[in-house]
Structure formats: structure tokens, C-alpha cells
Structure 1
Amino acid sequence: DYFVDGVKHKIERHEFNMYGYLHRISNFSRKINKKTEDQFYDLDGNLYCRRFFDEDENNRINSILIYKHGRVEKGFSNEKDLFTYFFNHIFEDGDTVFDDARLLDKSLLNCDKKIKPIMVLHNAHVEGSEIKPSYKTALLNSDKVFKYIVLTNHQKEDIQSKVDIPDDKFAILPHFIEKSKEKSEKKDRFIYMGRFAPEKQITHIIEAYKIFKEKGYPTKLVLFGAGIGAERKNIEKLVHNYHLENDVTIETFTEDPLKEFRESKASILTSRREGFGLTVMESINEGCPVISYDVKYGPREIIEDGENGYIVEVNNIQGVAESMVSIVEHPLENVKTKKTLTEKAAIKNFKQLFKEIDA
């Protein structure tokens, strides 16, 4: 970083690659700590791209220039036009392209080459009842899409309830997991494993646990994943208000979450939403049943209700408490991963997808 008199922030930044070659020079406004320009250099020190920014708080890109042999060869008003130009040069007719970055959707679908675009959707596509703006290009242009890969049937059905996309445009490819061979003795406790964030609704777990404790059960609760911040303070305050300090333990992230699952009666998930709920799958794979809200997406296709856990209506705190009681009163035996989430099933799913691509 370079500084000059009269400016409190950096005025220029030089960035180098892992081999020590200069890769980028960024210039900054004297008025505000925002970029005005990026210059990109190849390994021979030749300028190949300049990127210009609006000199305001939004700091949006307003121009991109591509250089060849020291002269401007091409210009673009935004990154998406640049992406399309790139795709037109790198792809050939007949190529299959997997796209899991919504930023690239428009550029890819506008590509001039006759490719087979496959849209990989890892996260929820809705916000409330509306399709997220970032997902609209992919979902509202199904005529240009060869296939949509989603993790769950639940999401496929939700998409089809809003957009007319036929079944044969979808491939359901859930995550898979290898069977655990580890064994551990169970402790008399429930656990939560994940980030401390508002969308995880950990306070719902505390509320449900309070109801459970009022029935006289001694089982403890351990919450893993606490950081430092407002969410942790809110949870600590609730634990204190309910006089549960001797029953609830708050821990930071653990280096061995699978061991913690193996040693627990059940894990609990009360999130507002999930991409797939990998902790649900990991918990069950370690023989630890899961009590989970029926959130979008994952739990209803990972949990077999009454077999390897319990599915509870979203925001039904009383239902979570009742499931805790069920776990203690009638422990679930032979908790295991569904066959649809095994490596064998994944291989079958991908073989079918490749067969359709090659057809």
C-alpha cells in the first residue's frame, strides 16, 4: 500500500501473485477510500485489462478495457458483458457447462455457442414467498437451460410451483456420506452444532429445553459454535433468565464434531432455512438422531420420522420439547443414514445424469 501527504487512506495498492510477480495495481480516490481503477498485468509484465469505478460510495464498475500488445482491443460497460465475451471464446459448440455461481447465469445463457448449461442450485431460491433476484435469470429462462441440479425433491417441487419447468429438466443429486465405523458411549445430553446466528434460531432450542426441563428430566444441553457477539449474549441472557446455567453449556467450535454427535442422545436444528442441512446428515451418520424443523431444504429428505429422528413443524417449539421427551423416554435404535444418501446412490445418480448429457 502507498500513501501520500493529505490523504488518510491508501492511494495505491500493488498486489503480487504467489511467485512474486506483480498482478494488479489499484488506484484509490483522494476523497473517499474507494477504488477508481484496477490495472491487471500478465506474467511478462504486460497490461491486459483496466477496470474503472464510479467515485462514490456504491463504487460500481463503469468501464472495462481489454488490451492486446499494448493497445485497447475491446471495451465493456460491465462485468457480465465481459463474461459473455470470455465464454464465447473459451467454449465450443456441444460443450457441457456446470454453473453454480448465479453471478454468471446471464452471461452464460447469452453465450453464442451451442452449449448445454447445467444450473447447480445449492441454496434456497426464495426469500419469503418470492424468487430471489439472483435466481430469476436461471429459473425464468428454462428454455436455454439443459438441466437444473437440485439437492432435494422438496426444492424441485417448490420451483415448479412458481415456474413452469418440466420434470425432465431436473436432476436430484443430494449430498452423500460414507458410513461411519466409529463407536462411542452416549452421554445424557442434547447438542446443537453450528453457527450462532439469528437465522439459526437457537433461542427456540432454549425455549424448548426449558419446557423439557420443567417435566423433570436431567438431560443436559450443549451448544457448539459460539463466537463473540450479540447472538451469544442473547442466548446467555435467556439461559440466565430461565435459571438454566447448570444445565446448558455454551462451547466454541469443536475440532471433532463427529465425536460430539456420537456421544449425544440427539442433535437439534431450529433454523429458519438451510441449504441442505449437512449437520443433520452427519449427526445421523454417527448414530445421533436429529430433532429438526421441517425447513427448506433437506431435513424431510434426510430424516425418517420416528426412525432416525423427528421432523417438527417450523417454529413449533412445543413440538421440539415433545420430541426431546420422546428421545429420552423411547430412545431410537439403529439410527442410520438413508440409502438415498449413500455413496452408492450418488454414483447411480451421476451416471444417470451423464447418460442424459451424452444422449
Structure 2
Amino acid sequence: MKTKTPVILVNSLNIVRGGLTKAVFTRANTLAKEFKAVYIFTFLYQQHYQQIINEIYSRGLLNKNVIVLNLFEDLKPYKKKIKKSIKHPIKEKGLICFQDMNQQNPSYRYYKDGVYCKYKRFDRNGKLLFVDIMNDSRHRLYRNEFDFWGYLNRIRHMDNYLNKSRLDRYFDIKGNCYLTIWVNPNNNSEKRAVLFEKDPREFETIDQLKMYWLNERLNSIKNPVLMVENRNMDNLVLDLEKIEGLKRVAVIHNNHLKKPFNKEAEIKDEYKNLFNRITEYDSVIFLTNEQKSDVQEQFGSNNNLKVIPHPATQVSETLKKEFTGTYNSKLAVTLARYVPQKRLDEAINAFKYVVQKLPDAEYHIFGFGKEKDKLKKMITDLGLENNVKLKDFTTDPMYTYKQAACSILTSDFEGFGMVITESLSAGTPVVSYDSKYGPSDIIRDGIDGYLVEKGSQKKLAEKIVQIMEDDNIRKKLSINAIEVNNRFSVENYAKSWKKLLLEL
């Protein structure tokens, strides 16, 4: 049996982990125990990329045997470990400086002979983030961006009318420009790329650059198995050629349907390349049986379609006992980003019916996102300020779930819903809309939680009240909930992925 090398392709990695990043970390860490080498390839420019990666390793989020490579960092012709940071001063000789008091981070405007010529922003630790250079008409000519250690990382040349980048130049720590990318300022899409190495070359599209880098890297890896997480990479990966032993695996993380997100809906545009070329993948992985069944119904059955669900967060026997013990019987929680997909407005509206029955009931929502102000106003308009609280993102979901009588999920759609398995792992039953996909594959209705028809706010409230009012019901659901650790075990997850990769 040939040795395989798992290679996971994603756009970027972040410290504040969303579901995709968390899923990638879990799989990479699991595979690192089974295979000699595991790689994660990332493709997006991140200003403080190296610091982000260092923090991911230092916090133990990623096994150090997992090798992370980034397109922009790896293409740099000159790589050297930085020993000393560059300190950039606020004041500059010959320039008059005024602080911009409207910004959270320290920011400054600079004038020379009465003309506004420069703008600087620092982080709260005094590290320079960027410098904008202005023309005499106060238009930005270009922006200099700096890495964590104070070295110039990128220069963005601005369009005079749209005030957005038209050309990006990338630099190594010696100050050499090694890459230029043309940018469409109307939609910020990357176009032509020019690489300046020992063998300079032009690329008509950014995908050609990515393909060049993938070919260079993959040809040095024995029998690579590419796991594609983002749908914007499907054509790119399927068009790769001349890589010995290459196998391709598509991993589907989300609902592939447009609104109203059911079987009658159209396919999302970003999924069309995948389904048009689905037989070209060696394997296509779904997180739920329901989604696989829907795809088979529409596109036909293929032997390359498999289901490998995410594992549940594993909890020790001691903690399992604690989780079924003390909790706030009048508290419900949700861990979610404040974005339209999560339909937190549905949960908040439903909770007004809970409060009518139980005036001291509370609902805490832990997260972050662009809809925070909208949700705050909604809570005020409903008169629920004393009951519904918007909390910051929590780094300890197990503790958060442990405190609550139940958790709530009202998303329009999901790919799996890891928050469900997390809540059940903590012994906290889940009351959820029966959205596609995830809830019906994970929650056993009436056994470890409740499934409610999507949009049925009063029914959702009834189930929440039932759990809050009846300790015996809550205890039964809680005891059953922790069985999720066996139903979605790390051991089964590891076996499934290892078996898949070795059989390709």
C-alpha cells in the first residue's frame, strides 16, 4: 500500500476560529497522528501571517507536525528568521502631526508646508500597521503595509477615483519586490500576476499563479492527497496535471442550496463547478447523510460520494458527571456569529414567548459580527433588555454550555452544526430548527434535544420552557446528550479518514 501525504487547501487561517478553520485544525491534528507528514496550504495574503501562525502553534491549536505554507510567504526569494523588530516613530522631522481622535487604534495625520501628505496607523502596542501617502489633492497615492516586525510587506497603489487598490506589490525583508498583482478596483478581484524570481514570469490570471505554486510544491511531495475545502478552488485543483500519485478530495462544509435552502432551491453559484465535475474527484466528502442523499437525488449516485461527520468535542468521564450537575435552569445560550445566516432574530423573537411564561428566563448569545447593532435594537424594541444579552465571543464553549439549561439553534442553513455536538458533549440539550444540514443527523428528537419546524417560533419557545420548567426532562435529555461522544467519536472520525486516504 502506497504512502499518502494529506494536503489541505484553504484560503486562510485565523486566530478567532470559524467553523471551517476549526474543522481543518481537527482533521489536520487527527491525520498528523496517522501520517508522517500533513500540510496545510493557504492562499490569501494576511498582513501579520507569520505572527498568526506562531500564535496558532503556541496556543496548541495546531499540532507542530502539521506544516503550514502560504502562497505569498513561500514565494519570497529571501527568507530569514527575524531577530529584531523595526521601531517606527510617530513624529517625523519636518512634518506637523495631529492625532485622529475618531479611530480606536492610534492614528495620525501629517502635514508639510500646509499640505496634508501622510497618514499613519499603529496598533495598541505601538506597531506600525500602515502608512498612506497623499497627493496635493488629498487623494491616496499608495498605502505601505508592514508586518508584525515592522518590515514593509506590501504596497497598494490606489485608483484615483475609487480610492481602492489597482496594483499590489509584495516585498521580502530585504525590500525586494518579488511579486506584483493587478487588481480590479471595482470588485477587488485579483487579475494578472508577475513573479520576479531568478526566472521571472507573467501569469494571465491569479489562478495561474496559484497553479504554478501548487505544481512546484506538490511535485516535491510523495503521493499527495489534496483536500479542497473552498469551492472557489475546484476548477483550479481539477485542472492540475503531471503530479505523480495525485488524488483529489472535495470536502463540503455548507449547504449548497440558495434560499430557501431546501431541495427545491437552485444550486449556489460557487457549487456549480463541483457538481458539474463531481466525477472527476476521487472522493467527495459530505458531513451529513441528508446532504449526500439530496445531491444523489439531483445528480445521481456515484461511488465517490462519502459521509464523514465532524467528531464531537471529547469530554472526560469526570467532566461528564459535572456537566449533568449544577446549571442555571432559567438560562439558554447560543454560540454564533452575528450574521444573517444564523437567524438570531428568530431565536430572540421566540424568546419573547419564553419570557411571557417565565419572566426571569435569560438568553445569552456569545459571538461577534456585523448584525450586533441590529440585534441590540431588536432586543430593546421587544423590551427584552433584562432577559436577552449579547456577549463577547467565548474561548471556553464547554464551560458556557455547562451553565445553561439548553442551547438554541435557529440558522437558515448549516453544513453540519458543530455547535450542536459541542452542546451535547457538555450535557446540554439543544432546541433547534430542523434546518439543512446537520440538526436531524445529530439531534435525536425527544431524546437529547428537540427538532422544531423551521420558522415555528412558538413551538421553539414551548420546548425551551419545557426544559426550563421540568428538571426531570432536562436531566433525561442531558444524560442522553453526552452519548454524542460515542456516536461521533474521534476514534471513528480518525478511522474513517485514514481508511479513505489509504484506499484512494
Same structural fold, with TM-score higher than 0.5 when normalized by the shorter chain: yes
Moved more, 152-161 or 190-199: 190-199
Instruction: Please give the alpha-carbon distance, in whole angstroms, between the structure 1 residues aligned to 2:376 and 2:367.
Output: 6
Q: How does 1:28-177 map to 2 (within 5 A)?
A: 28-43=158-173, 45-54=175-184, 56-69=185-198, 73-92=200-219, 94-114=223-243, 115-128=246-259, 129-177=265-313
Quick one: structure 1 residues 4 and 174, their matched pair in 2 at CA, closer, same or farther if it must change by over 3 Å?
closer
**Contact 1:281–1:337 (8 Å) recurs in 2:** no
C-alpha displacement at 1:21, in angstroms?
Answer: 4.5
Instruction: Please give the alpha-carbon distance, in whole angstroms, between the structure 1 residues aligned to 2:350 and 2:272.
Output: 37
What is the aligned partner in structure 1 of residue 378 from structure 2? 234
Deviations along 1:138-175, one digit per CA (max 9) or x if unpaired, are 22212221111222112212222332351433242323
SS in 1 for 2:201: strand
What is the aligned partner in structure 2 of residue 351 from structure 1? 498
What is the aligned partner in structure 2 of residue 331 from structure 1? 474
What is the aligned partner in structure 1 of residue 391 from structure 2? 252
Counterpart amino acid of residue 487 in structure 2: T
Counterpart amino acid of residue 25 in structure 1: I
Quick one: structure 1 residues 173 and 279, their matched pair in 2 at CA, closer, same or farther if it must change by over 3 Å?
closer
Instruction: Please give the alpha-carbon distance, in whole angstroms, between the structure 2 residues aligned to 1:24 and 1:208.
Output: 48
C-alpha displacement at 1:109, in angstroms?
Answer: 0.8
Deviations along 1:50-85, one digit per CA (max 9) or x if unpaired, are 22234x53354442222334x7x4322221122223
What is the aligned partner in structure 2 of residue 341 from structure 1? 488
**Contact 1:290–1:309 (8 Å) recurs in 2:** yes
**Contact 2:171–2:177 (8 Å) recurs in 1:** yes
C-alpha displacement at 1:290, in angstroms?
Answer: 0.7
Instruction: Please give the alpha-carbon distance, in whole angstroms, between the structure 1 residues aligned to 2:238 and 2:367.
Output: 42
Instruction: Please give the alpha-carbon distance, in whole angstroms, between the structure 2 residues aligned to 1:294 and 1:63.
Output: 45
Return 5+ residue gaps in structure 2 as ranges.
1-130, 260-264
2:269 pairs with 1:269: no
**Contact 1:271–1:295 (8 Å) recurs in 2:** yes
C-alpha displacement at 1:116, in angstroms?
Answer: 0.9
**Contact 2:133–2:143 (8 Å) recurs in 1:** no
Q: Identity of aligned pairs, percent?
A: 28
Instruction: Please give the alpha-carbon distance, in whole angstroms, between the structure 1 residues aligned to 2:305 and 2:345.
Output: 40
SS in 2 for 1:131: coil
Quick one: structure 1 residues 17 and 205, their matched pair in 2 at CA, closer, same or farther if it must change by over 3 Å?
closer
Quick one: structure 1 residues 292 and 175, their matched pair in 2 at CA, closer, same or farther if it must change by over 3 Å?
same
Instruction: Please give the alpha-carbon distance, in whole angstroms, between the structure 1 residues aligned to 2:258 and 2:440.
Output: 20
Deviations along 1:206-227, one digit per CA (max 9) or x if unpaired, are 443344455x446612222376
C-alpha displacement at 1:16, in angstroms?
Answer: 4.0
Quick one: structure 1 residues 217 and 3, their matched pair in 2 at CA, closer, same or farther if it must change by over 3 Å?
closer
What is the aligned partner in structure 2 of residue 298 from structure 1? 438
C-alpha displacement at 1:287, in angstroms?
Answer: 1.1
CA RMSD of aligned residues (A): 2.7
Instruction: Please give the alpha-carbon distance, in whole angstroms, between the structure 2 residues aligned to 1:317 and 1:68.
Output: 60
Pairing partner for 2:138 from 1, 5, 8: 8
C-alpha displacement at 1:86, in angstroms?
Answer: 2.6
SS in 1 for 2:415: coil
Counterpart amino acid of residue 74 in structure 1: R
Pairing partner for 2:459 from 315, 319, 338: 319
**Contact 1:190–1:219 (8 Å) recurs in 2:** no
Instruction: Please give the alpha-carbon distance, in whole angstroms, between the structure 2 residues aligned to 1:141 and 1:205.
Output: 38
SS in 1 for 2:482: coil
Quick one: structure 1 residues 212 and 250, their matched pair in 2 at CA, closer, same or farther if it must change by over 3 Å?
closer
What is the aligned partner in structure 1 of residue 103 from structure 2? none
Q: How does 1:178-257 map to 2 (within 5 A)?
A: 178-180=314-316, 181-182=318-319, 183=322, 184-193=325-334, 194-214=336-356, 216-217=357-358, 220-225=361-366, 228-238=372-382, 240=383, 248-253=387-392, 255=394, 256-257=396-397
Counterpart amino acid of residue 187 in structure 1: N
Quick one: structure 1 residues 6 and 30, their matched pair in 2 at CA, closer, same or farther if it must change by over 3 Å?
farther
**Contact 1:312–1:319 (8 Å) recurs in 2:** yes
Deviations along 1:230-279, one digit per CA (max 9) or x if unpaired, are 122113212x1xxx555x13141264442232222211111211232222
Deviations along 1:297-349, one digit per CA (max 9) or x if unpaired, are 22112211111111111112232133224323433421314223122221222
Instruction: Please give the alpha-carbon distance, in whole angstroms, between the structure 2 residues aligned to 1:22 and 1:59.
Output: 21
